[in-house]
A and B are shown apart, each in its own frame.
Chain A
């Protein structure tokens, strides 16, 4: 029965069966129960002209056991209900009729997918059982083998999960969305085994491409001079053509473009302030008024006349040190030393993770609830408990690097950048080499290797300079460095890792020492215990000896008394002799 395979392009499917090769079997007999239907040869290139009655159908090789005039063991096993003689409705004959009908129905048009509903209308019997037979045949490829797979249920379920307005119509009531409460949700995809054959496996999510992830962060380069366009750029309206400010002003924007075609897009507005422009004077005013009025946003808004209350608050939050101002306004100035770390004023010896944790706390704390009175000190001391924590940040079991990575993904890039800058400042203080590398080129530092975006940082730095408060930007030498970018990146990474490693080693040593110390303490405690026990025993011994001596004395004393009594009785001898009983009894008692 088995004919060698023909690999005609069906190999692309993923199927449940082991062997993908197909087998052509001739349809041997016509089922007498079937009506006479015209059968067309599905394989027009059949080279068997000598057997015109035979049609060739394709089934998988793992179903080669199938025979028209027999029921195979596989079928008996899978569909036991028919072979137990339990009911007149389930006999092998009935099964064979079902099977033959279904297969023939499919073969009327093998290219079309046969559905269960089509066959069950034509067959008498329990629909559940029929469905089982149907699924069996489908799993074994005896039907629907060549047919196209069912429409992707993914799209169906997407449709089914659409949100509806108004009550569903099974529930008639005043309109509010609610779902019926059957115990099986309607959006369950029917991934039964019968469907398993044709469905290709797991639908993987689309892999994110570089542009998806980094699209927002991509640096815009001037098409002309290749500089980074951060301060602002001019976008050519018709095509995606970007020119930096300098080039625009100097007129170098390529042929065929006129000045009017360019639209000014200033990055400064985009990232930070919802389209509100903050000039430097306004920012200065804002900071001054915040210093003066701390919390009173009405007054602050009055001072900065051109901006509303909300704008002021938003702007202040976005400034890297803005929150520290708010913080210091709240809780008393010096307590927020960690916040000052953001500007790298006095790097306290924190690891970068603690550092960032505090930053997060402040960040979360200020999300919309600036009115809260927060004590800066208590913030430092117990950062996690008071703030809402999006994730368990300080899991003791995850490594430092992981924590850093996790935290840096959770917060704004501005904060991460500020933190990174502070960490770099700290490192630079310790070693001269990274300082050269890092602070070589100021612009490239903030834009290139370490941190992605940061308009606000640039503004912040310019403002810091204006206010002449100590900040890292003033420590930095603006000198052009010849160190190329990849090397800087590598150096940055290496330094970071090296710092982390060194720190880890120090921590490990410290731990060891602590362990030793603790062990010593334990030993001491044990010794003390022993000593006290020994002392106790000695005391007890002493007591016993004393008692022993006391008893000896007492014994002697009693002995003396006996002797005395005997003497006395002896001396009063004769008179007493007349009363022998009393003397006797006395002596008897005493001895």
Chain B
């Protein structure tokens, strides 16, 4: 009978987004000549780099931005892509990690707050599908909310994946340095993961009082609220 630690030990995986599609979340916030361009989207890292330039040109053209935006956009996208790719070859130890994902975002008139668990080991997971189901179940009609939710999820997953890489690297270094026994579990949960043992030991059903924390909370703002919030963001941002 294997001990629980080794039962959950898995061979280290190469870095990738722990979702069905390996897409990079990209966020842009550029200011040139008084014009501010904020955007967030997912990008396929396997696209050739020429696509970046084309996308930037198209964006500048469609949104009628100043031409000074073009090199900036290209540069920002490429730098984020490069960061992503720099993790590419490295080991990312995922193991058996179920992490909490939190949503707290405002898209136009809709404010949504939510919390749920995500299994990094599940490569069938699809943030876009989850976002779609969420919007459908809750009855959100604004078509921008879904993608924003999916993007937020992806960003968090990305963060966690990066943490995994660094922690795996540290562990390896430690291990080398120490030459400790091999059974030292690399699967020691890092900060984000939850202790599955504790979680799944008893019932999988949550206590009633916790139900409200894990359901999506939806707020619809009026126009004035939206304007006020935007003004505040501009000032702070």
A interface with B by C-beta (< 8 Å): 33, 35, 85, 87-89, 91, 94, 97-98, 101, 115-118, 120-129, 131-132, 150, 156, 159-160, 167-174, 176, 178, 180-184, 186-188, 190, 192
What separation, in Å, do the CA atoms of A159 and B145 have in the docked complex? Answer: 14
Report the bound CA distance from A532 to B73 in whole Å: 76
Given contacts A97-B205, A124-B204, A170-B144, 18 further A-B contacts (CB under 8 A): A87-B196, A88-B196, A94-B200, A115-B136, A116-B133, A121-B211, A122-B208, A123-B204, A128-B126, A128-B130, A131-B129, A132-B124, A150-B136, A156-B141, A171-B39, A178-B62, A186-B143, A190-B129
Chain A residues with CB under 8 Å of B148's CB are 170
CB distance from B53 to the nearest CB of A (A): 14
Asked if B147 and A88 sit within 8 Å, CB to CB, the answer is no
10 shortest interchain CB distances as A-B pairs? A126-B119, A121-B215, A186-B143, A115-B137, A128-B125, A182-B147, A117-B137, A121-B214, A172-B38, A160-B143
How far is B39's CA from A178's CA once the two chains are assembled, in angstroms? 11
Contact-residue size bin, chain B (C-beta under 8 Å from the other chain)? 35 or more
**Is B113 positioned at the interface, with any CB of A under 8 Å from its CB?**
no
Say whether B147 contacts A94, CB under 8 Å: no
| B96: chain A residues within 8 A (beta carbon) | 87-89
Q: Which residue of B lies closest to A98 (CB)?
A: B204
Residue contact B216 to A172, C-beta cutoff 8 Å = no
Tell me whether B59 is interfacial, beta carbon within 8 Å: yes
A87: B residues at CB distance < 8 A: 8, 96, 121, 196
Interface residues in B114-151 (C-beta closer than 8 Å to A): 116-119, 121-122, 124-126, 128-130, 132-134, 136-138, 141, 143-144, 146-148, 150-151
Q: Which of B24-38 contact A (CB under 8 A)?
A: 35-38
User: Is B200 a contact of A89 with CB atoms below 8 Å?
Assistant: yes
Interface secondary structure of B, over-half rule: mixed
Contacts of B129 in A (CB 8 A): 131, 190, 192
Give the chain B neighbours of A94 by CB distance below 8 A: 200, 204
Chain A residues closer than 8 Å to B138, beta-carbon distance = 117
Q: By the criterion CB–CB under 8 Å, are B108 and A169 in contact? A: yes
Q: For the complex, what is the distance from the CA of A353 to the CA of B233, rounded to whole Å?
A: 67
Contact A190 B133 (CB under 8 A): yes
- Roughly how many angstroms separate A192 CA and B136 CA in the complex, as a whole number? 13
Taking CB atoms, residues of chain B closer than 8 Å to A181 are: 41, 55
Whether B231 is near chain A, meaning CB under 8 Å from some CB there, is no
Give A180 to B150 CA distance when docked, in angstroms.
Answer: 13
| Contact between chains at B41 and A131 (CB < 8 Å) | no
Closest beta carbon of chain B to A169's beta carbon, Å: 4
CB-based contact A117/B121 at 8 Å: no
Contact B144 A169 (CB under 8 A): yes
B62 to chain A, nearest CB (A): 5
CB distance from B68 to the nearest CB of A (A): 13
**Residues in B lying within 8 Å of A, measured CB to CB:** 4, 7-8, 21, 23, 35-44, 55, 59, 62-65, 96, 98, 107-108, 116-119, 121-122, 124-126, 128-130, 132-134, 136-138, 141, 143-144, 146-148, 150-151, 196-197, 199-200, 203-206, 208, 211-216
Taking the nearest CB of chain B, how far is it from the CB of A157, in angstroms?
Answer: 9
**7 interchain pairs (CB within 8 A)?**
A89-B96, A116-B137, A124-B200, A170-B144, A183-B21, A184-B147, A192-B129
- A residues in contact with B118, CB < 8 Å: 126-128
**B residues less than 8 Å from A192 (CB atoms):** 129
Question: Are B150 and A33 neighbours in the complex by a CB distance under 8 Å?
Answer: no
Contact A88:B197 (CB < 8 A) given known A120-B116, A120-B214, A173-B65? yes
Docked Cα-Cα span, A541 to B214, in Å, equals: 106
The smallest beta-carbon distance between A439 and chain B, in angstroms, is 61
Q: Are B144 and A176 in contact (CB under 8 A)?
A: no
Q: Which residue of A lies closest to B95 (CB)?
A: A87
Q: Are A176 and B63 in contact (CB under 8 A)?
A: yes
When the two chains form their complex, are residues A126 and B134 in contact, meaning their CB atoms are under 8 A apart? no
Pick from B36, B62, B213: contact of A172, CB below 8 A: B36
For the complex, what is the distance from the CA of A589 to the CA of B19, rounded to whole Å? 103
How near does chain A come to B95, taking the closest CB pair, in angstroms? 9
Least CB separation from B215: chain A residue: A121
- CB-CB under 8 A from A170, the residues of chain B are 38-40, 107, 144, 147-148
Complex Cα gap A117–B36 (Å): 36
Chain A residues whose CB sits within 8 angstroms of the CB of B35 once the complex forms: 173-174
Chain B residue with the shortest CB-CB distance to A100: B205
Inter-chain contacts of A128 with B (CB < 8 A): 118-119, 122, 124-126, 130
In the bound complex, CA of A439 to CA of B195 (Å): 94
Residues of B within 8 A of A172 (CB): 36-39
- Residues from chain B with a CB closer than 8 A to the CB of A190 are 129, 132-133, 136
Most chain-A Cβ atoms within 10 A of its Cβ — which of B36, B63, B130? B63
Min CB gap A163→B, angstroms: 12
Which chain B residues lie closer than 8 Å to A123 at the CB level? 204-206
A186: which B residues are within 8 A, CB to CB? 143-144, 146-147
